[in-house]
Amino acid sequence: MPGHPSNPPPDNEGQLRLLVEELLRDNGWKVLKEPREEDERPDLIAERQGERLIFEIKRASEGRRDRIVPLLSQAALEAAHYSRNLAGHPVPVAIVGSNHIPDSVADEAKQFVRARAPDVGVGLVDLEGLRSFAGHGLESLNSERREGSGVSSSKWRSRAPQLFSDLNQWMLKLLLAPGISEEYLTAPRGRYQGASQLAEAAGVSVMSAFRFVEQFSKEGFLDRRSRRLRIVRSNELMKRWQAASQQRVLEIPMRWILSKGKEALPNALRSLLSAEALAADRKRKQNRVLLSPRPRACLGLFAAAEALGLGFVHGVQPYLYLERMSQDIVESLGVSAKGAERQADIYVRIPGNRESVFRGAVVKEGVPSSDILQVWLDVSLHPSRGKEQADLIWRRVLGPAFEIFEADES
């Protein structure tokens, strides 16, 4: 198996530019929109404390010297040209990126161009964490890559989101969605060739999707050799995801003011959402400015399993996911925190992974419920027979879904 693909995915050029933009912003630079003065259209301009930089960025299909040095030289010439012709003569910077650039090649390329164009700052970056810059104080952008590690530097990794961050969990659900019925998970169902397609389907930035692909590939959960984003080592992936989901979550006990009974929470949530929709529609018709949207809400854990037709554990207080605490929502639901510490009727959960929770929610009979993946993650270690509930979900839904994936892999 080759260590580094010779031909990067077609969207890597856009990813490279986004990578450079983020690197600059992380270091206090303001990235400006692409200037268009007649035929002068450099890739980027950045400002910080009165200093302006102008960037020309090239992508190399391979990290070989005979590819990197010519492209960096060309980028330096073009950046210098733009600098001479743009107002204020911003500092020219040439950057070349690739999937993987050996440190020795990066050092040689920097020395070659700096010796011949000392007024031009240079930089080399790759998708494995190389950040190597020289000239005009750009050395502050550098971060070393550990020898032979094949992964991003510790500096870069410390800024990267966690493996099971909110949006990463949502994108995982998209990749798993083709094997799961729509009655259990609300998500687009498709096959994605790269980060750009995944970003569009998930409704996230290309950089977020690029990070997702980079992280899960490095952890061995995405097959980089495949022509599409394909999950591998699914059993280990689900164990890791399950463990990561057991972090403490804010739970607030509540009591009913009036309503009680098994259907009290679904009925209250249905009524709340119907009233909210009518109010929003009325405001639109009256051409009034809409207030900020109310927090999203959905059933969680065992109540969600019941709503999805997979209920197994009964007699447990229901859980409600609420995007954020809102007194008007609490009042509209007809619950109160008074006296709930002693005996709770329901528990309100404020999720850290709100996009994953609410985007995947399934609406049945006007009531949104957590998707089946979320329910499985949430109940797995619950003391009230959560393992039995999770096992039932696995046997009925998730196990067969992964059998489809495994058959597809073979």
pLDDT, residue 13, reads 61
For the domain that residue 275 is a member of, what is the CATH number?
Answer: 3.30.460
pLDDT, residue 244, reads 84
pLDDT, residue 86, reads 84
pLDDT, residue 331, reads 77
If asked whether residues 81 and 149 sit together in one domain, one would say yes
- Provide the domain count of the chain: 3
Q: Phi then psi for 81, rounded to 5 degrees? A: -60, -50
Domain that holds residue 49: 12-156
Name the domain boundary from 108, 138, 156: 156
pTM for this model (two decimals): 0.59
In a domain, 49, yes or no: yes
If asked whether residues 262 and 374 sit together in one domain, one would say yes
Q: With a cut of 50, which residues of the chain have pLDDT below it? A: 1-11, 146-161, 280-281, 284-286, 288-292
In a domain, 408, yes or no: no
If asked whether residues 105 and 31 sit together in one domain, one would say yes
pLDDT, residue 248, reads 58
pLDDT, residue 252, reads 82
Name the domain boundary from 188, 220, 246: 246
If asked whether residues 278 and 325 sit together in one domain, one would say yes
In a domain, 199, yes or no: yes
In a domain, 409, yes or no: no
Instruction: Please tell me the distance from the alpha carbon of residue 52 to that of residue 91, in angstroms, as a whole number.
Output: 6
If asked whether residues 143 and 180 sit together in one domain, one would say no
If asked whether residues 95 and 212 sit together in one domain, one would say no
If asked whether residues 301 and 204 sit together in one domain, one would say no
For residue range 91-108, list pLDDT tens digits in order.
999 999 988 899 999 999
Residue pair 335/255 in contact (Cβ under 8 Å)? The answer is yes
In a domain, 405, yes or no: no
Range 242-263 burial, b when 16+ CB lie within 10 A, else e: bebbeeeeeebbbbbeeeeeee
For the domain that residue 56 is a member of, what is the CATH number?
Answer: 3.40.1350.10
In a domain, 65, yes or no: yes
pLDDT, residue 224, reads 66
For residue range 353-365, list pLDDT tens digits in order.
889 999 999 998 8
HSE-up of residue 405 (Cα within 13 Å, Cβ side) = 23
Could you tell me the maximum CA-CA distance found in the chain, to the nearest angstrom? Answer: 80
For the domain that residue 196 is a member of, what is the CATH number?
Answer: 1.10.10.10
- Alpha carbon distances (Å) from 88 to 30, 57, 374: 17, 21, 54
Name the domain boundary from 133, 156, 179: 156
